[in-house]
Structure 1
Amino acid sequence: MDNSIIDLWENNKEVFQSKTVEQILLFCGDGKLRDNSSTSHEFRSFLSNISSKYLVKYAEECLTSSYKDGGLILQDIINQIGLRLGFNVEDGLYRGTRNKSNIGYDGIWSLKDGYEMVVEVKTTDTYRINLDTVASYRNRLIEENRISKRMSSILIVVGRQDTGDLEAQIRGSKHAWDIRLISTDALLKLMMLKENLNDTRTSLQINEILKPMEYTRVDPLINIIFNTTEDLQIDTDTGVEQDNSIDLNALPQRENNSKSKTVEFREECVAIIEKKLKATFIKQGRCLYSSVQNDCRLVCVISKRYKLKNSNRYWFAFHPPQKEFLKEAKNGYVAFGCGSSDLTVLMPFPKFEECLEKLGQTHKENGRFYWHIEIFEKNKNYSIRQNHAEDIPVNEFLVN
């Protein structure tokens, strides 16, 4: 596949950041989106390589600007959001066709449990949607045994939040129990929420909301809210407060650790790791990343520098969900940002996993636990401290 747009992006990010999505499309093939064309392949490849903040920007442009192919661009963006949410996504057709062998869905999103959603994207709800037509896409897919009637539904994604008329139309139709409706804005919020979670299992629970459900009993929704709240409270980075051998009052005050600075520091670490591994990573959680091809995964945690006696020290937390995330990868790495991106330790996961049984653990009242890692530096030599075992030198894993 021709990836010239990716090369241009990688080498000219500053220039691309000022471009609209309509302008970017002109760099792909002949600049016109058609089914099974090199332009569509190249444009979708571009979307899969950019950070989510650009998907938010481009979606807003499609909804507020009069782009000729704004609806088609938004369709690809919505399907990319589905991928970021953890679905397997099959892209649909851009335009309807008279060929009866083709089914005009915009996408099919599949969950790991086999459940599938037939996705329809609409930039506006100004005009009434023919629900019979949308339902016919699902019915034909069922007839062709491509999806299951019991394990499938329809998800309509609309451009605006004001969907009262469409909601009423759905409620009054015979398809009410098979359709879920969500605005593009809410879907984007769901994606950004997922990127702040620590456990990919929590994000899979959240995706359950997109299934049609009867909520006379609201326990499932409460469980999702509870688990999400609990997940967001996990500190994925520092474990310093659990090291009882350290007098916390003797530690220097940590610098302003606002969320923006933490993200910036972490993302700087990821950027130099991308160059080291020659890979592009997409954020999958607060500190979870996967390559575009999903053949390489990364957990990146960071720590402020603490100066104690004659050494510098850095403390991190490593959680079981992070371990499971890496175990599922063909290639996995753990990265420790020590004070700044200038000092980043990058360890292959199999090597790091050998250390886990010799690291201290902290157990919480809710049953959760994590390992806490101390990296200390003395005379430019860096090591991971282990309980009742020799320290592990990590100089060989420094990213230069």
Structure 2
Amino acid sequence: MTLVQIWKENPEQIRAKRVDQIIGFAGDGKLGDNNSAPSEFRDFLARVPGELIAKYANDCLESAFKDSGLALQDIVNEIATRLGFTVEPGRYRGTKADIGHDGIWTAPNNHAIVAEVKTTDAYRLPIETVATYRRRLIKAGRITEDHSSILIIVGREDTGELEAQIRGSRYAWDVRLISIDAFLRLMKIRQDLDSPSVEERIRAVLIPREYTRVDEIIDLVFSTTEDILDEVPDELGEENEVESAPGAKESKDREKPVSFNLACVERIGKSLHVELTKQSRVIFGDLDSGLKITCAVSKEYKNAGGLGYWFAFHQHQLETLSEAPSAYACFGCGSPERIAILPFNFIKSQLEGMNQTTREDGRMYWHVQIHKEGERWIMHRRKGFDWPDITSMMLVNNERAT
């Protein structure tokens, strides 16, 4: 039985294990460039939630078990994947014939980062050695000089000695430095939000810049705030209300957003018979089948016609679902006990009749409004468009309507 199969059948057993114990279940139980364990271990890391990634990183730093540095290398590469990089893992131990990088991370804009992972900065890191890796990769045509840089990821926040070493070298404009703790925080920001612009700015922070002007950092902070505000609707004026709907929803001041996405996703996974891994606040995917879902949630809004629920469905979410072999837009209506599971082709066909909001920065989203009228679940749209009955697409209590 593979490590991933053990995780699927008994996740609680795995959750209780240290990372060195988990590696013992993978392949031949030992990390090495010619061993079977690394592929199973990396496949496993791709499926576990972010909090376990953080736990395993801390295991590597605090336990200092044999090959803890090798495990940390894989963990750091997994974090990079979750930040939107395409990752080519490096060798655990370099040879004269092979370039000894820990990973090459390629961003969507084709900038390549040569990663170097260190559990501690207690000794002097040979910057020239890492720079040589980059030069060899450039010479081999695998990266370019103008669109590549070096990132050193260090296990502790106390990196003063290493920072001074980098500043005093001729590679200061090619190298960036980050601690594991800060790197984990970037992963958490990425997975707690749902914004391609935030993801892009996170990646940009890891590339060497001259920071006399701090606009880029301010943009990242501002973007994360804006994404959080998108979780709940702005106060709805007349132009955003559902036309001709009986007892249309009253305007509401912005309130604290509800959060039961994960409980909904667990039920959706069981209903669709897939294992869903978190990719962002609302996007989840099954690594085996390629299926993807979005899962937004809403509190209840009472009106004369019954209960109503409001959701934002963003353009980038539509694009993400369109790239998957199968996909659903899912909406938790008041609790995990009431979930609309809408096939991608259906939700796409309904967007024309929905209200839209376009923000000042150009980001756009549709207003998805679902009402319960008696025993029927209805999707409301603008005047002149039909209001489809989605009762058959609802997962209510423990039953999927058919």
TM-score, normalized by the shorter chain, greater than 0.5: yes
- Equivalent AA in structure 2 for residue 78 of structure 1: V
% of aligned pairs identical?
Answer: 43
Q: Indicate whether 1:46 and 2:44 are aligned.
A: yes
Q: Indicate whether 1:196 and 2:199 are aligned.
A: no
The separation in 1 between residues aligned to 2:82 and 2:283, in whole angstroms, is 12
The separation in 2 between residues aligned to 1:258 and 1:197, in whole angstroms, is 13
Unaligned runs of 5+ in 2: 242-247
Q: CA deviation at 1:41?
A: 0.6
Q: Using a 3 Å threshold, how does the CA distance of structure 1 residues 80 and 132 change in structure 2: closer, same or farther? A: same
2:250 equivalent among 228, 234, 247: 247
* Structure 2 counterparts to residues 210-289 of structure 1, below 5 A: 210-235=206-231, 241=236, 244=241, 245-248=248-251, 262=259, 265-289=260-284
1:357 equivalent among 339, 352, 357: 352
Q: Using a 3 Å threshold, how does the CA distance of structure 1 residues 13 and 241 change in structure 2: closer, same or farther? A: farther
Q: Using a 3 Å threshold, how does the CA distance of structure 1 residues 223 and 308 change in structure 2: closer, same or farther? A: closer
Q: Using a 3 Å threshold, how does the CA distance of structure 1 residues 197 and 381 change in structure 2: closer, same or farther? A: same
The separation in 1 between residues aligned to 2:274 and 2:153, in whole angstroms, is 32
Spell out, residue by residue over 1:305-343, the C-alpha distance to the aligned partner (whole angstroms, 9 max, x if none): 344446332222222232233233333320011122222
Q: CA deviation at 1:266?
A: 0.8
Q: Indicate whether 1:58 and 2:56 are aligned.
A: yes
The separation in 1 between residues aligned to 2:71 and 2:118, in whole angstroms, is 11
Q: Indicate whether 1:122 and 2:118 are aligned.
A: yes
Q: Indicate whether 1:313 and 2:308 are aligned.
A: yes
1:5 equivalent among 3, 6, 19: 3
Runs ≥4 residues deviating over 6 A = none
Q: Using a 3 Å threshold, how does the CA distance of structure 1 residues 258 and 326 change in structure 2: closer, same or farther? A: closer
1:302 equivalent among 297, 303, 311: 297
The separation in 1 between residues aligned to 2:373 and 2:336, in whole angstroms, is 19
Cα RMSD for the two superposed structures: 2.4
The separation in 2 between residues aligned to 1:117 and 1:367, in whole angstroms, is 30
1:173 equivalent among 169, 174, 188: 169
Spell out, residue by residue over 1:74-132, the C-alpha distance to the aligned partner (whole angstroms, 9 max, x if none): 111000000000000001111233xx221111111001111101100000000111111
The separation in 2 between residues aligned to 1:40 and 1:219, in whole angstroms, is 40
TM-score calculated relative to the size of structure 1: 0.90
The separation in 2 between residues aligned to 1:365 and 1:147, in whole angstroms, is 37
The separation in 2 between residues aligned to 1:142 and 1:206, in whole angstroms, is 25
Do the aligned partners of 2:77 and 2:89 also contact (CA within 8 Å) in 1?
A: yes
Do the aligned partners of 1:238 and 1:303 also contact (CA within 8 Å) in 2?
A: no
- Equivalent AA in structure 2 for residue 74 of structure 1: L
Q: Tell me which residue corresponds to 2:71.
A: 73
Q: CA deviation at 1:4?
A: 1.8
Q: Indicate whether 1:376 and 2:379 are aligned.
A: no
Q: How many residues align?
A: 387
Q: Tell me which residue corresponds to 2:245.
A: none
Secondary structure of 1:67 counterpart: coil
Q: Using a 3 Å threshold, how does the CA distance of structure 1 residues 58 and 111 change in structure 2: closer, same or farther? A: same
Q: Tell me which residue corresponds to 2:244.
A: none
The separation in 2 between residues aligned to 1:334 and 1:57, in whole angstroms, is 31
Q: Using a 3 Å threshold, how does the CA distance of structure 1 residues 266 and 52 change in structure 2: closer, same or farther? A: same
The separation in 1 between residues aligned to 2:171 and 2:387, in whole angstroms, is 63
- Equivalent AA in structure 1 for residue 333 of structure 2: C
Q: CA deviation at 1:364?
A: 4.7
Do the aligned partners of 2:250 and 2:303 also contact (CA within 8 Å) in 1?
A: no
* Structure 2 counterparts to residues 17-32 of structure 1, below 5 A: 17-32=15-30
Q: CA deviation at 1:353?
A: 1.1
